[in-house]
Amino acid sequence: MRFLAEILGNLGIGAQQALALALLLPFFPLLLLIRRRIRETGRPPLRAISGYAALQEYLGQSAESGQAAHVSMGTGGIGTTVTAESLAGLTVLQHVAEYSEATGLKTIATVSDPSLFPAALDVMRQAYEARGYALAFDPTSVRFISPNRAAYAAGVMDILAHAGVGCSLMVGNFGDEFLLMAEVGGRNEVRQVGGTTSALILPFVYASVDETLLGEEIFAAGAYLRQRASHLASLAAQDWLRTGIILAIVVGAVLRSLV
């Protein structure tokens, strides 16, 4: 153990990094095994999450009524401590973009962080290029508003009030500005789905939108919306590892109490 610790120390890997590496090492072979099994046996059953079911329903209602869909990926960016939340928002945008290309639904995507703007633009463009309709893509459908939270909220509020929006999907990292945006959406009868991992903001989300994605549910967007084997396998692998960690904690606590 001391020899291994010296090797890790020479590589610049500390105790916390070593623990994270130890948890990740069994993840990848487990992911590959589950992915192979899914391809052989088909899609596994998933726990029903009302937020994703409502998201699909709201998109359909907006398309039928000729209204637009608004997608917000929050006020975080890429390369920050909230990158995972921003990527979850991008996954939602990717699904909406593909739905928009297939149905003609107008989509307005808004971003606050400059690092997220090109990513959102690329996601929207690829959805149209993949089906051979690159010329139908409107670059103005992705709008960079402001890195200032208050200014971003003001821009989104204006869109929800005046752009003929039928549904608003807000998934990512948010602060107090979420309540301002959701309040305007509710006042204009916009159907709303909100999701974030912040324990401080989740009460605002739950109280102000029609459907809520609670905490880590936003990271399951790929499995629930896109349903690809890789997304489903990743979700299943995370559940298995979580179960293993819980069992290890319980067994460790019991053994420690018996010593």
The pTM assigned to this predicted structure is 0.81
SS3 content of the chain, % helix, strand, coil (to 5): 65, 15, 25
Confidence (pLDDT) at 44: 72
Least confident piece of the model among 11-25, 55-69, 110-124? 11-25
State mean pLDDT over 136-140: 88
Q: With 70 as the cut, is the pLDDT of residue 10 above it?
A: no
**Same structural domain, 142 and 66:** yes
Q: What domain range is 89 assigned to?
A: 50-226
The number of beta carbons lying within 10 Å of the beta carbon of residue 116 is 29
- Per the rule left: phi > 0, alpha: psi between -120 and 50, beta: everything else, 66 is left
Give the integer Cα–Cα distance in Å for 244 and 22. Answer: 13
Q: Which helix (H) or strand (E) holds 245?
A: helix 229-258
Q: List phi, psi (to 5°) of 108.
A: -120, 115
Confidence (pLDDT) at 176: 92
pLDDT by residue (tens digit) across 46-102? 788 999 999 999 999 999 999 999 999 999 988 888 899 999 999 999 999 999 988
Give the integer Cα–Cα distance in Å for 170 and 190. Answer: 12
Q: Closest Cα to residue 245, out of 44, 32, 36, 30?
A: 30
Confidence (pLDDT) at 203: 93
**Same structural domain, 209 and 117:** yes
Confidence (pLDDT) at 109: 97
**Same structural domain, 150 and 34:** no
Confidence (pLDDT) at 255: 83
Confidence (pLDDT) at 14: 55
Confidence (pLDDT) at 71: 97
Residue 259 belongs to a domain = no
Least confident piece of the model among 109-113, 209-213, 247-251? 247-251
> Structural domain tally of the chain?
2
Confidence (pLDDT) at 18: 58
Average pLDDT of the chain, as a whole number? 85
Residue 222 belongs to a domain = yes
- CATH of residue 72: 3.40.50.1220
